[in-house]
Each structure stands twice: as C-alpha cells, then as structure tokens.
Amino acid sequence: MATYKELKAQAEALLQQAEAARRAEIAAVIVEIHARMKEFGISPADLKGGAKKTKSRSVVAAKYHNSATGDTWSGRGRVPRWLASELSKGRSRDEFLIK
C-alpha cells in the first residue's frame, strides 16, 4: 500500500499534468478561434456586441413642495417620508401642489 507521502506526490504530479493539458487545449482553441475569425471576417470589436444602450432618464419637474422644509416630490414613485408624515397628520396632497 502506498504511503501518504507517495500519494501526495502522485496527486501533485497529476495536478501538474492536468494544468499542462489545460494550457495545451486552450492554445488549440485559441488557434481555432483565430482561424474562424479570419475565415468569417470577424474582428474583436464584433465579439463585443456593442454596448447596451440605456434609456436616458429625463428629469421630471416637481409637482409637490413643502414650503416649511423646501422638500419636493415629482409625484412618481413612493410617497416621500415628509409627505407621508404630513398626510398622516390629516393634511391633503392638494395643499402641497405646486401651482
């Protein structure tokens, strides 16, 4: 039966062989990719696929204003804390509308 030391040496040798095989296979794949790119006229820029275009968000004018604190809200999304607090006190959204 092999000793721990011998098995560890064999494992290290196998890892080195595996890494060498991996590097060789990668090199072969790269050569194949270059050949295919040349065959079809593909450039590295073609592989990037172009940057995804994002929608530019336009600034929405404020619809509500708290004159006491200067806070504003466009009316989109969640109700801000300052307005929710005022609404819980019984005030109306209409009181904060910017005219």
User: ∠ CA 28-33-34 to the nearest 5 degrees?
Assistant: 100
Per-residue pLDDT in tens (0 to 9) along the chain, 99 residues: 889 999 999 999 999 999 999 999 999 999 999 999 999 999 888 888 766 677 777 888 999 998 888 999 999 999 999 999 999 999 999 999 998
pTM here is 0.44
Measured CA to CA, the distance from residue 97 to residue 61 in angstroms comes to 12
64-96: which CATH number, 3.30.980, 1.20.950, 4.10.430, 1.25.40?
4.10.430
Which residues have a Cβ under 8 Å from the Cβ of 99 and sit 6 or more positions away?
none
- For the chain, the structural domain boundaries read 4-48, 64-96
